[in-house]
Structure formats: C-alpha cells, structure tokens
Chain A
C-alpha cells in the first residue's frame, strides 16, 4: 500500500524559511516522479512543484519560482520542499503526491499524503 507522510510544517514568520519532508513507502520510490500540491484554507488545489524520478526534470508554479526548491533522495525514499522568503499567501496545507509514472511531463499526481500545514504569520 502506498504511504506518503509529510512533515515539517508549522508556524513561521514572513520572510523566514521552512523545509518540508515526505517519507514514502509501499512502492519503489525511484520509479516515480513526485509532486507537491497545496491548498489554502477553504480554497482549491494549487500545484506547487514536481520532480522526475532522477531529478532530471523539475518544474515550479510561477507563484513559488525562485523561492522554493524541490529535491529528492532516492536512497532515503524521501521528497523535500525547501521554502524560502515565505509570504502570508503561502499559508496552506501542503500535500506530497506520487505521480503515475517516472516522468514529470505525463504523470499527474496520483496517490496523496494527508498533508502538513504551513502557516506564515507574524
């Protein structure tokens, strides 16, 4: 059974940094691309970033480009999101999601974790 467990969320001041982690199990992690998707309180889903199986292809939403960095460690079955220069509008539940295939370009989010909440406020 696919399991994705996010961690690292919390309350952070504007301008500060936070690093999210996602621990994956129940599948061969390095066979799949991975995504981060967020959902602000009471709002819809927003794709944040994605990474291919070998980190060779990476994409970001315009809203986070230059501030967030996605990475993965296939040896540790883990996905990360380094978030810098955080803003109030980054407040959201952040989901880690497994893609359907190894590549980022044809693989939407498939299996989802339960999310970790990030609150940006002074």
Chain B
C-alpha cells in the first residue's frame, strides 16, 4: 500500500482560491467515492473537512469543497483566509484499509 500523492506545498493570497490534488490508483481513489480531507494546525489534532469525496460535516465552511476525476481527488478552498493556513491530508479507502496522502502545507501569503 503506497501513500497517496499530494503536492508538498501550495500558497495563495487572501480571497483567492486554491486547489490541492491527491493522486492515487485504481485500487483506492479511483475505485471508491470514499476520499476524505483533513486540516491540521500545528500542535493540534486533525479535523475532518470533507468526506465521501464532496460532503462537508456540520460546521465546516462551504468555502471548502471536494471533487474527484479518475484516480485524482481535489480539495478546493475558495475565499482564502488567514486561518486556513495549515497542513491538509487526503485519505482514501483501499480494501479493508485506509491510506493517507503525504500532506500539503498551505501558506496564506
């Protein structure tokens, strides 16, 4: 089982939109609509932002959205805010186990 592939870093200015990609294979991302996204601030536990590809838990801003095409899932954050600066991880089901991406550090300029 290999980790999903994410860019190491992305950046954007306040108010802009950014997209973080998460590339897997036909054995994980491509086969299931079970990609989730997590936000982690330094020294804090991860927080679920998106599940089942595009659904938002209660309380998560609608500025966060998820999508998928083939073996690649994406997280888009619109109207970037300073508090969005954090690490973001994707996660996918892969037959009796789950696999995370390597993480992407988002910098708000």
Question: Could you list which residues of chain A lie within 8 angstroms of chain B, going by C-beta atoms?
Answer: 35, 37, 44-47, 50, 57, 59-62, 95, 100, 104-106, 108-115
Contacts and interface: CB of A to CB of B under 8 A. Distances in A.
B24 interface: no
A108 B87 CA distance: 18
B45 A110 contact: no
B94 to A, nearest CB: 9
B28 to A, nearest CB: 12
A104 B45 contact: no
A112 to B, nearest CB: 4
11 contacts: A47-B98, A60-B97, A62-B1, A95-B45, A100-B51, A105-B96, A106-B34, A108-B51, A109-B38, A109-B91, A110-B48
Chain B binding surface SS class: strand
Nearest to B48: A110
Interface residues of B, number: 24
A113 B44 CA distance: 10
B93 A105 contact: yes
A112 B57 CA distance: 14
Nearest to B89: A45
Interface of B: 1, 3, 34, 36, 38, 40, 45-48, 51, 57, 87, 89, 91, 93, 96-103
Given A61-B1, A100-B51, A106-B93, A47 B45 contact: no
B89 A44 contact: yes
Contacts of B101: 44
A63 to B, nearest CB: 9
B48 A114 contact: no
B45 A35 contact: no
B100 A45 contact: yes
**Most central of A45, A57, A95, A104 by chain B CB within 10 Å:** A45
B103 A115 contact: no
A114 B47 CA distance: 11
